[in-house]
């Protein structure tokens, strides 16, 4: 089986450790275990004392039920048996698509998005049609175009809400429109929701799994809960046929998640309201910093993100995005992700939910770097 190079992960693998100012990071500023236990109001000593007496067997095969009970509270219609834990959201995306997609199946995916959503189906021999999200349409799916992309052979429609890398949040009316399109042809609607709840406004963010009987969603502890080190994600669906297939395939590549990972995730999920309050404050304050910076920089523009931790910054420099980001890193220590990783050019993905001072310093150095490029070049766009 051949699969395309995972461009964004390859870029991060090669460059993340070189950065002094990592404003490519997509998680909300990660917490320590000490901070986690403080937020949860739990004794770290008691937790680890009890854990140290447990035999290190496999974890719960279908996932820690205490953890899954807390995860279910993130949705309106999901119960414990509608959730299966996975090795991160990457493992969840792979498992779900591996379980559902067969050669010659018709699949629709939005782009730009996380590359798994189209490269994995392609690797299994699916016929993937790409629904291009555009800056002019604020990176929201065009329902009229989507209708022309589907038919009775469409097996899965893949979306990402909130969107990575753009930070676009699909309005509820549009989301319901996508559901109706999927329902009209009997397709699964698969949605990567790992940035859900990191919105710029208060209110309940609707989930595909609550809106559609064939909805399948993915979440994780990494982005929203600042615990990427746990490598713990999940798939949620009310559809019994999809869940049976997922469980069948999961036996081949997962068996169970780590006992320690799930125990710590359960502590975090018990304190989800406090963690979400902390992280909502970070993304709102940091986006205000980024927004003010963009407004005052003559060579930059963007579609202001509505949710999540990332945005696509467009820059008026006539240089391929990978060359731009490599030069920026080498000369300033600032790490961004090239737009080419998402099949976009003259832009790059920024992650603005990092430490506030790191964001400010990284942006300052980015602005000065572009000023030097412009002043030394006779070919700005």
Which domains occur in the chain, in start order? 7-32+274-373 (3.90.1150.10), 44-270 (3.40.640.10)
Interval 107-165: pLDDT, tens: 999 999 999 999 999 999 999 999 999 999 999 999 999 999 999 999 999 999 999 99
Helical (H) or strand (E) element with 233: strand 233-237
For residue 381, pLDDT over 60 is answered with: no
Axis crossing angle, helix 88-100 with helix 240-253, rounded to the nearest 10: 120
Do 365 and 375 meet the contact criterion of CB atoms below 8 Å apart?
no
For residue 314, pLDDT over 80 is answered with: yes
Q: Tell me the chain's radius of gyration from C-alpha atoms.
A: 21
Confidence of residue 1 (pLDDT cuts 50, 70, 90): confident
Mean pLDDT, range 227-231, rounded to an integer:
97
pTM of the full structure = 0.96
pLDDT at 376: 84
For residue 380, pLDDT over 90 is answered with: no
pLDDT at 146: 98
Interval 334-353: pLDDT, tens: 999 999 999 999 999 999 99
User: For all residues of the chain together, what is the average pLDDT?
Assistant: 97
Half-sphere exposure at residue 260, Cβ-oriented, CA atoms within 13 angstroms: 10
Q: How far apart are CA 125 and CA 249, in angstroms?
A: 18
Interval 10-20: pLDDT, tens: 999 999 999 99
Interval 36-74: pLDDT, tens: 999 999 999 999 999 999 999 999 999 999 999 999 999
pLDDT at 207: 98
Residue that has been written with the tokens 């003559």 in this structure: 298
Burial class (CB in 10 A: 0-12, 13-18, 19+), 134: exposed
Mean pLDDT, range 361-375, rounded to an integer:
95
Q: DSSP characters for 82-107?
A: GEEEESHHHHHHHHHHHHH--TT-EE
Confidence of residue 378 (pLDDT cuts 50, 70, 90): low
Provide, rounded to the nearest whole percent, the portion of the chain with pLDDT above 90. Answer: 97
Provide, rounded to the nearest whole percent, the portion of the chain with pLDDT above 70. Answer: 99
């Amino acid at each position: 089986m051949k699969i395309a190079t995972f461009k964004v992960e390859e870029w991060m693998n090669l460059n993340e450790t070189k950065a002094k100012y990592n404003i490519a990071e997509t998680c909300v500023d990660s917490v320590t275990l000490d901070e986690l236990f403080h937020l949860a109001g739990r004794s770290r000593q008691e937790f680890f004392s009890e854990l140290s007496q447990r035999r290190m067997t496999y974890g719960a095969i279908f996932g820690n039920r205490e953890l899954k009970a807390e995860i279910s509270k993130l949705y309106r219609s999901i119960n414990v048996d509608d959730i299966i834990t996975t090795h991160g959201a990457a493992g969840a995306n792979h498992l779900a698509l591996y379980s559902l997609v067969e050669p010659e199946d018709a699949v629709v995916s939005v782009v730009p998005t996380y590359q798994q959503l189209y490269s994995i189906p392609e690797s299994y021999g699916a016929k993937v049609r790409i629904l291009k999200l555009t800056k002019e349409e604020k990176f929201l799916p065009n329902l009229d175009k989507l209708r022309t992309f589907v038919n009775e052979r469409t097996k899965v429609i893949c979306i990402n809400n909130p969107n990575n890398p753009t930070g676009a949040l699909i309005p509820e009316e549009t989301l319901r429109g996508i559901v109706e399109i999927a329902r009209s042809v009997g397709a699964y609607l698969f949605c990567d929701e790992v940035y859900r709840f990191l919105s710029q406004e208060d209110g309940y963010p609707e989930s595909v799994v609550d809106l559609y009987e064939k909805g399948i969603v993915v979440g994780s502890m990494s982005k929203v809960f600042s615990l990427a080190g746990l490598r713990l994600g999940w798939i949620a669906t009310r559809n019994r046929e999809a869940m049976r297939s997922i469980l069948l395939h999961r036996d081949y590549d997962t068996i169970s998640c780590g006992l320690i990972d799930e125990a710590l995730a359960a502590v975090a999920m018990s304190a989800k309201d406090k963690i979400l309050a902390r992280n909502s404050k970070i993304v709102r304050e940091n986006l205000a910093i980024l927004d003010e910076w963009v407004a005052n920089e003559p060579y930059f523009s963007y579609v202001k993100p509505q949710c999540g931790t990332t945005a696509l910054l467009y820059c008026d420099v006539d240089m391929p995005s990978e060359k731009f980001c490599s030069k920026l890193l080498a000369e300033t220590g600032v790490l961004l992700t090239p737009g080419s990783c998402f099949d976009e050019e003259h832009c790059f993905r920024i992650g603005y939910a990092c430490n506030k001072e790191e964001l400010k310093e990284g942006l300052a150095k980015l602005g000065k770097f572009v000023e030097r490029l412009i002043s030394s070049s006779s070919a700005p766009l």
